[in-house]
């Protein structure tokens, strides 16, 4: 399998993930990306080609992770780390910073596991961007316009989000390239109709430090996407694993699914950053729930060795 980075340079503010308009996440998950790409595939009548490639494992997608300049970040591995330095062990400020750490530079994985993670990277995310608030006015179905506030995130110049994608063939990459090219004009996240979430996409070769981790033979594997195994796999997969579960729901983004907007079923998936001794492939979940057409939800696994 060949790997590429899809680097997203956002041209506007973004609103990701949160259930409330007055707060936002700074990244988004692989299932959100898949749903957005699938909508673009529908416009281009390439939905079968894209769905088959993903279902068969010929295209795999990670969650979106931050990059700052040439530093690429991955989720902090959910493994127990022993700090050798006695002074650091007793430093409550450092303990709090380490606990709140969500992402680490990919070139510090070994140092992280060995308990020698560089302190200067503890607060890197403060350089990624800034939070803001946008005031909009709701007029649909209201006698008087009602203002409301939307939390936004603005990435600094030279910073943004990237996705690692694996493709089996040039044809698979061409399909994915076309979908990302179309998606950059549609945008990602909430309030796209207000111009939010627009981005410029660069397709880049995999940096050496990421490729080394992706191809590394390791006893522990870091999950890079939200994923769900088959039920019969669970017993083996959970042996030696350290993980967290994430509830995924949200509204169905389709104007033809039902007369009114409907919610997806709640599912719980392993979150990126979970670590497993035994890997799994994951799956694409098909839902109908009384709608006019099926809904496909991405829960395929993408691992790197740690």
Residue 28: helix, strand or coil by DSSP?
coil
Does residue 193 have a pLDDT over 90?
no
List the structure tokens of 31: 């299932």
Instruction: Please check whether residue 31 is in contact with residue 248, taking contact to mean a CB–CB distance below 8 angstroms.
Output: yes
Q: What percent of the chain has pLDDT over 90?
A: 70
Does residue 113 have a pLDDT over 80?
yes
Rg (CA), the chain: 20
Q: Report the C-alpha gap between 96 and 110 in whole angstroms.
A: 21
Does residue 141 have a pLDDT over 80?
no
Q: What is the band of 30 on the pLDDT scale with cuts at 50, 70, 90?
A: very high
Q: Report the C-alpha gap between 260 and 249 in whole angstroms.
A: 17
Of 66 and 252, more confident = 66
Residue 135's pLDDT is 72
Task: Name, in order, each residue with C-beta under 8 angstroms of 143's C-beta and a sequence gap of 6 or more.
Answer: none
Q: Report the C-alpha gap between 234 and 169 in whole angstroms.
A: 31
The mean pLDDT of the chain is 89
Q: What is the band of 259 on the pLDDT scale with cuts at 50, 70, 90?
A: low
Q: What is the band of 292 on the pLDDT scale with cuts at 50, 70, 90?
A: low
Q: How far is CA 277 from CA 78, 243, 303, in A?
A: 12, 11, 11
List the structure tokens of 197: 């979430």
Q: What is the band of 255 on the pLDDT scale with cuts at 50, 70, 90?
A: low
Which of 193, 170, 197 has the alpha carbon at shortest distance from 183? 197
Does residue 7 have a pLDDT over 60?
yes
Q: Mean pLDDT over residues 152-163, rounded?
A: 97
Distance of CA 68 to the CA centre of its chain: 16
Instruction: Please check whether residue 306 is in contact with residue 218, taking contact to mean a CB–CB distance below 8 angstroms.
Output: yes
Q: What is the band of 202 on the pLDDT scale with cuts at 50, 70, 90?
A: very high
Q: Report the C-alpha gap between 119 and 94 in whole angstroms.
A: 8
Does residue 88 have a pLDDT over 90?
no
Does residue 174 have a pLDDT over 80?
yes
In the block, tokens 């104007």 appear at 255
User: What ranges make up the beta strands (E) of the chain?
Assistant: 2-10, 59-61, 65-68, 71-75, 103-105, 129-138, 146-155, 159-167, 199-205, 221-223, 245-248, 267-270, 275-276, 282-287, 295-300, 303-305
Which of 152, 157, 155 has the alpha carbon at shortest distance from 196? 152
C-alpha count within 13 angstroms, C-beta hemisphere, residue 296: 21
Q: What is the band of 289 on the pLDDT scale with cuts at 50, 70, 90?
A: confident
Does residue 291 have a pLDDT over 70?
no
Which of 31, 7, 49, 38 has the alpha carbon at shortest distance from 175? 49
């Amino acid at each position: 399998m060949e790997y590429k980075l899809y680097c997203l340079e956002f041209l506007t503010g973004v609103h990701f993930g949160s259930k409330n308009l007055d707060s936002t996440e700074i990244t988004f998950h692989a299932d959100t990306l898949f749903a957005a790409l699938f909508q673009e595939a529908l416009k281009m009548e390439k939905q079968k080609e894209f769905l088959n490639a993903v279902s068969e494992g010929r295209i795999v997608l990670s969650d979106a992770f931050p990059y700052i300049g040439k530093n690429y970040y991955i989720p902090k591995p959910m493994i127990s780390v022993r700090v050798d330095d006695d002074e650091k062990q007793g430093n409550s400020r450092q303990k709090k910073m380490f606990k709140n750490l969500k992402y680490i530079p990919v070139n510090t994985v070994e140092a992280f596991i060995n308990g020698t993670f560089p302190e200067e990277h503890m607060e890197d995310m403060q350089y990624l961007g800034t939070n803001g608030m946008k005031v909009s006015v709701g007029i649909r179905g209201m006698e008087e316009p009602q203002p409301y506030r939307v939390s936004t995130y603005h990435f600094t110049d030279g910073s943004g989000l990237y996705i690692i994608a694996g493709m089996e063939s040039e044809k698979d990459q061409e399909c994915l390239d076309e979908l990302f090219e179309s998606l950059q004009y549609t945008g990602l996240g909430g309030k796209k109709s207000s111009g939010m979430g627009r981005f410029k996409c660069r397709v880049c070769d995999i940096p050496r430090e990421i490729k080394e981790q992706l191809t590394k033979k390791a006893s522990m594997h870091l999950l890079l996407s939200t994923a769900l195994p088959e039920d019969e796999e669970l017993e083996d997969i959970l042996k030696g694993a350290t993980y967290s579960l994430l509830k995924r729901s949200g509204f169905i983004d389709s104007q033809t699914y039902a007369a009114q907007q409907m919610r997806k079923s709640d599912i719980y998936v392993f979150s990126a950053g979970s670590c497993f001794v035994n890997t799994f492939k994951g799956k694409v979940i098909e839902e109908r729930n009384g709608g006019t057409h099926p809904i496909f939800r991405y829960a395929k696994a993408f691992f790197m060795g740690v």
